[in-house]
Amino acid sequence: GAMQQYEDLGSMASGSENVEQSLVAEDGRARLLLLGAKRSGKTSILQVVFQKMSPHETLFLDPTNALEITDISNNAFVQLKIIDFPGGYDFSEKKVVDALFKRDSAIVFVIDQQDGQDDLAAIEHFLDVARLAHGVNPKLAIDVLIHKVEAEADSYHDDLNERVRHIRQRMMEHLREERLNVHPTFHLTSIYDHTIFEAFSKIVQKRIPQMSQLENLLSGLVNNCRVEKAYVFDVISKVSCPE
């Protein structure tokens, strides 16, 4: 997909007509809003899944300092507009907030499980986003990627499980305290294995209008050919739909 970079934007509050037009354009594409704290790995995820970048190359990516909009048109089914926000983005322009959250959008919030000292700041940012989104569109889907889950040793595995449980528990406790009727879907992800592709497959599946027809076709294939499982893959992004 072609990436449109708005280098002069700084923040959406500066009011770029090009950005607003791109956000509200009736182009038939669902919006995925990629949010999280600074250095949480948002842009690396975008590059690895949709731009075929090697995970090791992402070490050299610059931080996202301006809004970036990526159009994904890999095939007739995967039609997306992914909006990559600078880390800790401050939503202060109501008109743009409404444009983002009122339409067919979904939030993908990335939290770096390795960055223990900044958990609180990341969770506060998540709550800010959840409040705004819920206030504009209570039905908006929110997926949380607990990211950089790269277990390399058994001794690390127990610590990792505890960290993940702690992050998830605190996020849900804060949502209950604020009485926000928000039910995020959690995924454990790493760009160094299949988990990021599995997570984005589940996220993208919810944004495919023809998903039920695809599932029926795959089900028919499984039954008629007597195979155990069938998948449809987007060859470029490796996003899949299983049956």
Distance CA 45, CA 29 (A): 20
The predicted-structure confidence for 208-239, as pLDDT tens digits, reads as follows 766 677 777 888 888 888 888 887 777 667 77
pLDDT confidence band for 151 (50 / 70 / 90): low
pLDDT confidence band for 145 (50 / 70 / 90): very high
Q: What is the DSSP string of 106-157?
A: EEEEEEETT-GGGHHHHHHHHHHHHHHHHHH-TT-EEEEEEE-----SHHHH
Token pair of 176 as six digits: 């209950």
What residues does 186 pair with on adjacent strands?
144
The type of residue at 23 is L
What residues does 108 pair with on adjacent strands?
34, 143
Token pair of 19 as six digits: 């950005």
What is the pTM assigned to this prediction?
A: 0.83
Distance CA 6, CA 20 (A): 11
Q: What is the three-class DSSP state of 211?
A: helix
pLDDT confidence band for 6 (50 / 70 / 90): very low
The predicted-structure confidence for 43-53, as pLDDT tens digits, reads as follows 999 999 988 89
- Beta carbons within 8 Å of 28's beta carbon, 6+ residues apart: 79
Distance CA 35, CA 41 (A): 10
Distance CA 63, CA 166 (A): 27
The predicted-structure confidence for 94-104, as pLDDT tens digits, reads as follows 667 777 787 76
pLDDT above 70 covers a percentage of the chain that reads 78
Token pair of 201 as six digits: 């497959």
Phi and psi dihedrals of 109, rounded to 5? -105, 125
Residue 239's pLDDT is 77
What is the Rg, in whole angstroms, of the alpha carbon atoms belonging to the chain? 18
